[in-house]
Amino acid sequence: MFFYLKMKSIIIKYLIFAIVLTLVSFLIFGFIIPDKSCLPVYFVPAFFALISILFAILITKPKFNKIAKFSAVFMASNMIKLIIYFVYLILVFLNVNNSARVPFTIFFMATYLVFASYDTLFLLKFFGNKDKKTE
């Protein structure tokens, strides 16, 4: 039961983070550079949040308590996420008009860095709190 309550908390945190980033994308592409806007820009934070939630749920399962298992799963999940992100970037990049390609790619990379940092900090905090409870 505790695991499912923790998952609900994880999902809510990622969704709030994605909503904030979506609002930032609306501000940037709606007011600052509206001529470079394209519809897929607004879906990037939601896409990252969905993938991050799925992998966070996978990584934080109780069966990955040992550091060897966690390290292998963490590295494999990061590689799979990177491939998924790259495929998404290529598919959207090919379907976006020429004037919006560079701003979209820059925003995509910035969002990737923000979510990668958030994922790492989240996992450090999650497993740090878990270690304190076991001591």
Q: pLDDT tens digit string along 66-89?
A: 767 777 888 888 899 999 999 998
Give the domain extent around 97.
2-134
pTM for this model (two decimals): 0.77
Instruction: DSSP letter for 39, please.
Output: G
**Count of domains in the chain?**
1
- Write out the DSSP string of 41-85: GGGHHHHHHHHHHHHHHHHTSGGG-SHHHHHHHHHHHHHHHHHHH
Are 35 and 102 within 8 A, CB to CB?
no
Indicate left, alpha or beta for 97 from its phi (over 0: left) and psi (-120 to 50: alpha).
beta
Residue 44 has pLDDT above 70, yes or no: yes
